[in-house]
Structure 1
Amino acid sequence: MTAPDYPALESELIALLGARGATSDMRQREKASVDGARMSPIIAEQLPLGIADLVAFPTTAEQIAQVVGLAAKHGVAITPRGKGTGNYGQAIPMPGGLVLDMSRARTVYEVTEDTITADAGAPMTVLEQAAKAAGKQLWMYPSTVHSSLGGFLGGGSGGTGSIAHGSNDNGFVVALDVVTPESGGQLVHVEGDEVLGYVHNYGTAGIIARATVRVEPAQDWRALYASFDDFYGSLSVLRELGKLTPAPRLVSADTPHISAQLPPDDAIPADRSSLRMIADPAIVTEASAIIEAAGGRIEEVHEGAGVSAALSVLSYNHPIEWLQKSEPGVYFHVEVSGDALIDRIDEVHAVYPGGLLHAEAAYTTPIGMLAGIYESPEAVYAGMDKLRALGVGVHNPHQWNVDFRLAQTLELAAQTDPRGLLNPGKLNPDYAGSTKGAIG
């Protein structure tokens, strides 16, 4: 096979995008070739996993499609990138090639009664603001609130709003405009069940260039901060709070040790278990009564435009990130789910040395991030088996292979990307979701 002619591709990209729209500058290539992989000590030990030969910065969905068409013409691998906040290596260009940085494609097109449409690079915060201006709110957005729309759909799952709506493959996505190496530099519009072929698979079957997702009537949220003497108290009310109506947008709980690592805040006492809730005003009184009846105390209740985002950034992965920052090189985490997180918390904590759970109320069953003191990959994987034996669902974040609808993605990619140009290294057909795999 003829080696790609990168200088020729760069010239064509500059002609399309302008002088600042494509680069082979080493600093830019290095910057575009990393993501949040260092959150995983297992993956961090393997870095660097790859570096781009070129980086392109399209500003519209149509330009995204044209860039993919040019790269495909030259047989160049294409790794899509939003804000680079993917945690586990999914945005690293393992074979080199072109990094397609979509962060400049930020246009929000329309807010309707039920939907909002935007280019893939639009930050979720921008979409939420546009929705609010029309009296609406997003069904959900990730804890990394500045993530791009395309990144959240291609590599994310759920977040703020997931108590009511589940993950982002549960009706959130209405339509997509995607591009593939076989589409000749043109956008392909998909709707309905077809959108699932491009969600959660890191752009390996097609790159999301524009998306239409669900909105609903805006609510005037409150940020409720509470605390308990210990983690048992917070866990004792987590499920009940998550079942209140109207559904909370978020309910998060941390052990006292994790709480002490969060950004300083009088509403998060460092020596107590913090419980935080994004609640509709209609349930604040009921939620407060539940908390106080269980021995907790209400620290503060905030209102205003920014309360939802303020608590969102203290949810899901983020408390574990603060823990890792406070004690560098000590902790790893795995993603966990199930009622055993509450009913068997002592056994769950005991699986890993120094075990610490960050917990979230969720759509059907509690979920969380279980941190432990890192010893070796083998110890991490052995712990996953122990967790499964306790009835805990486990997702392994310490790998980068597609682990959602793998068989269907392989089948689709065989049609849309027969040369394997889209995000190579992330679609291993032999991956079977074993101990080193995904959903347990």
Structure 2
Amino acid sequence: MTELPDTIRELAAELVGILGERGVSTELRAREKASADGSYLSPIITEQLPLGLADIVAFPTTAQQIAETVAAAVRHGVGITPRGKGTGNYGQAIPLENGLVLDLSKARGVVDVGDGHLTALAGTPIVTIEQAAHEAGQQILMYPSTAQSSIGGFLSGGSGGTGSIAHGSNHQGFVLALDVVHAVPDATLVHVEGDDAQPYVHTYGTAGIIAQATIALEPLQEWRGLFASFDDFGTAISVLREIGRLEPTPRLVSADLPVLANALPADPGIPKDRSSLRAIIDVAAVAAASELIEQAGGRVEDVRDGAQTAMKLSMISYNHPIEWLQKSDPGKYFHIEVAGDALVDRIDEVHAVYPGGMLHIEAQKDRPIGMLAGIYSSAQEVYEGFAKLAAIGVGVHNPHVWFVDHEVERTLALSESTDPAGLLNPGKLQGKRPAAVSA
């Protein structure tokens, strides 16, 4: 094995003093594990992403240790790639320029629950946060489809999920305050609230690393999981928008072609060879949703309660259906994020853009969104399809990028003071000079 540079060995010695022997690793297996995420599921990313290998991995367990670890890395001029639970699919947690991977998954715990708010360490799993909110008679506004992911990872790399029908994205009223760490030699926890906290959301830690977060809560609702099926996909999506507009607002409404039902493990609520519609819906709206489904010729297969039902439905929403297809046929499928009423009104044209085209669709209050899958041949063919989709009124976002594409200019401006040496998640903020040292 190649011997580590002096800079890394010196940093490791300092970090052992901060985190203890078990809080630091330069072992190859730990470095390899910390240098990969779910991006292997994207054939586009697999072809294009410049891979890196961590030189050292740190596992802080408190917010203060996060600050002390960052400060030490900055003093040694080592780039810092923050990492939650590594569930992201697009390489934002891969250390492109080696250096330190700051694994925050052990910095977990709910610090405080109050009326309308909850504070937790960055590595706290979303399911733990939701449970703590429930015990206080409240619920979080939204959570990602990978509900086992951490709150810091969701805020740094995610954008929305279960609950977004009512509340939009996680930079729209979800975050009340953050404790962040800037890349300076004497780094400490910096508390930011309200509008001042938003520039750290969905920017992959390039302007500051989230150590602790305070998020909004709302009164707990009684949710049900509704499972329905239809003879064809067009009929399923014909009622999806209407169910999404019911009051109280559903937490989730998803639909897809029979190909997904056939790829999923057997479940009587998702019968094979039928288009599936699934919803997390307030108990008061179940009757209205059932009536809409039956009037359209669909069948209500089941109505279930319990947190496990909501978790199951979340895990087959947003990009997860595409992952099921990719796992059943590795390397065959790609997907892009799409939006607009044309997903319903012109679905046959949407499907025709890519060979094997098939849409997974999510209801939203303003316009439906979805993940359009196709059979992968080349990145060029994928990109050429963007214009074809735009021509029929479909909004397109290319998710297969590992660099910041949200409020880039704002992030660059902020990072000039919060990361003057370019050490935070090097390679993820285009226009930012590289880290001072790539070990």
Which TM-score applies when normalising by structure 1?
0.96
Match of 2:62 in 1: 60
Q: Deviations over 1:79-110 (max 9, x none)?
A: 00000011101100000000000000011011
Match of 2:71 in 1: 69
| Correspondence for 2:405 among 399, 403, 406 | 403
Q: Distance in 1 between matches of 2:56 and 2:215?
A: 31
Q: Distance in 2 between matches of 1:241 and 1:395?
A: 25
Structure 1 residue matching 2:22: 3-state secondary structure:
coil
Q: Distance in 2 between matches of 1:328 and 1:288?
A: 36
Structure 1 residue matching 2:21: 3-state secondary structure:
coil
Equivalent position amino acid for 2:271 in 1: P
Cα deviation for residue 390 of structure 1 reads: 1.7
Q: Distance in 2 between matches of 1:106 and 1:294?
A: 46
| Correspondence for 1:269 among 264, 268, 271 | 271
Cα deviation for residue 306 of structure 1 reads: 2.1
Question: Any residues of structure 2 matched to 1:10-25 within 5 Å, and which?
Answer: 10-25=12-27
Gaps of 5+ in 2: 433-439
Match of 1:434 in 2: none
Instruction: From the superposition, tell whether residues 377 and 305 of structure 1 become closer, same or farther in structure 2 (CA, over 3 Å).
Output: closer
Gaps of 5+ in 1: 431-440
Matched, 1:340 2:342: yes
Match of 2:294 in 1: 292
Q: Deviations over 1:126-161 (max 9, x none)?
A: 000000111111100000000100000000000011
Q: Is contact 2:74-2:185 (8 Å) kept? A: no
Q: Distance in 2 between matches of 1:258 and 1:60?
A: 41
Q: Is contact 1:166-1:363 (8 Å) kept? A: no
Question: Any residues of structure 2 matched to 1:36-435 within 5 Å, and which?
Answer: 36-46=38-48, 49-182=51-184, 184-429=186-431
Structure 2 residue matching 1:422: 3-state secondary structure:
coil
Q: Distance in 2 between matches of 1:390 and 1:415?
A: 43
Q: Is contact 1:221-1:307 (8 Å) kept? A: no
Structure 1 residue matching 2:399: 3-state secondary structure:
coil
Q: Distance in 2 between matches of 1:180 and 1:136?
A: 32
Number of equivalent positions: 428
Cα deviation for residue 212 of structure 1 reads: 0.3
Cα deviation for residue 266 of structure 1 reads: 1.1
Which TM-score applies when normalising by structure 2?
0.96
Identity of aligned residues (%): 63
Which range moved further: 243-252 or 363-372?
363-372
Q: Deviations over 1:261-312 (max 9, x none)?
A: 1222111011000000001110000100000000100000001232211211
Match of 1:438 in 2: none
Q: Is contact 1:341-1:392 (8 Å) kept? A: yes
Runs of 4+ in 1 over 6 A off after TM superposition: none
What is the alpha-carbon root mean square deviation over aligned residues?
A: 1.2
Cα deviation for residue 237 of structure 1 reads: 0.5
Cα deviation for residue 192 of structure 1 reads: 1.0
Structure 2 residue matching 1:321: 3-state secondary structure:
helix
